[in-house]
Structure 1
Amino acid sequence: MSAAESSTGTTPGPSPVRTIAVVRHAKAEWSDSSDHERPLTDRGRLDAPAAGSRLAATGLPFGLALCSTATRTRETWRLAVAELPRRPRTVYEERVYEASPGELIAVLNEVDDDVQDLVLIGHNPGVQGITEILAGSAEPEAAALVGRRGFPTAAVALLTFTGPWKSLEPGSATLTEFWTPHPG
């Protein structure tokens, strides 16, 4: 029996293609409150459901959402998830707030392999950084948009990769789509 065969004598199937939807929180107020407690602006409360509609349009059955604990990310997710046909399990993860791309990759490496597709709701510069660092390749239009626009509020990037979550590392994914609520 080869190393690729299990004790039952069957060969494991191919690794699933996994998708990470990276979402930056919608537009937030600048106020006297702490950065962590900043709420969404009126524009942010309009853009968050649009981001949710974009997620729904993918047709992916997201199994998990990892959301920063900041007020603006929680509000963004609450408004966006209402647009999805099925609410994924949501984990409010303190480590996503102010996380570097490396810290975000470490969080994703801990995801259970039963989860195929997930949403990560966070902050810049971390969300742009993780998108750029993970993308070993990219659809030309998506790469051009990120390069031209950065990662504006309520933007959504879709990254795909094959293999277990613990194998996710710089350059191992493909940027397949980039969407913003205010193109141009």
Structure 2
Amino acid sequence: MTAERTLVLMRHAKSSWKTNDPDLARPLSPRGTRDAVVAGQILAPLPFDLVLVSPAARAQQTWQTLQMGGAGAAQVVTVDALYHARTPGLIAALHQLPEQAHRVLVIGHEPTLSDTIVTVAAPSPSRDAVASRFPTSGIVVLSVPTAWDALGSQSTTIAAYEVPRG
């Protein structure tokens, strides 16, 4: 019997558009920093076994700021593919998660995250809300009753949907 797992998918916090930097290098805005601290407070009770973070500066800074709010992890890995990943690629990456990782956070981008949530979550009002809009700093906590490699269409349930604002 597989122990239940928790998968948290989070969109990076609000980024700054007041920069000439390329997209990959765009930093968090002041609002994004405030929101990420609040998100860290929300996630603090869920110590993660593994965090996967896009290489984009705004995603990296989101993780750093989540820690300021109290979030923690045993292992953090930057996954280059998360920057351009689409839903099939993200699900394939989730299939490769180590079995000993029971609580995983992924910090990435739209539209991949909301599309993935809509794909793997059972129908619910929260899933409908994510399908219509998944804003910056949006957090979806999924209960995964299967092994990672069995993750598929409607195989999870949404345990929580939060949009932290600081």
Q: TM-score, normalised by structure 2?
A: 0.92
2:88 and 2:71 mapped to 1: Cα distance? 31
* Counterpart position of 1:173: 156
- Aligned-residue offset at 1:85: 5.8
- CA shift in 2, pair 1:170/1:81, >3 Å: farther
Maintained 8 Å contact 1:95/1:107? no
Query: d(CA) in 2 for partners of 1:113 and 1:84?
Result: 25
AA aligned opposite 2:14: K
Cα displacement (A) at 1:62: 1.3
Secondary structure of the residue aligned to 2:122 is strand
- State the distance in 2 between where 1:105 and 1:179 align: 22
Q: 1:36 aligns with which of 24, 44, 68?
A: 24
Asked whether the 8 Å contact 2:53–2:106 carries over to 1, the reply is yes
Choose which of 89, 97, 107 in structure 2 pairs with 1:121.
107
Counterparts of 1:25-174 in structure 2 under 5 Å? 25-30=12-17, 31-56=19-44, 59-84=45-70, 86-138=72-124, 140=125, 142-147=126-131, 150-174=133-157
Higher RCO (CA < 8 A, seq sep 6+):
2
- Residues 5-44 of structure 1 mapped to structure 2, 5 A cutoff: 14-30=1-17, 31-44=19-32
Distance 1:128 1:161 in 2: 17
1:21-64 CA distance string (max 9 Å, x none): 111001111232111110011101111111111112xx333100
Segments of structure 1 that go 5 or more residues without pairing to the other structure are 1-13
Q: TM-score, normalised by structure 1?
A: 0.83
Percent identity reads: 32
Corresponding residue of 1:5: none
- Separation in structure 2 between the aligned mates of residue 154 and residue 78 of structure 1, nearest angstrom: 13
Q: 1:102 to 1:85 in 2, by over 3 A?
A: closer
CA contact (8 A) 2:13 2:36 kept: yes
Quick check: which has more Rg, 1 or 2?
Answer: 1
Contact 1:156–1:180 (CA<8 Å) still a contact in 2?
yes
- Cα distance in 1, alignment partners of residues 73 and 153 from structure 2: 29
Q: How many residues align?
A: 164
The aligned amino acid for 2:16 is E
CA distance in 1, matches of 2:130, 2:22: 29
Return the alpha-carbon distance in structure 1 between the equivalents of residues 35 and 89 of structure 2: 27
Partner letter of residue 62 of structure 2? T
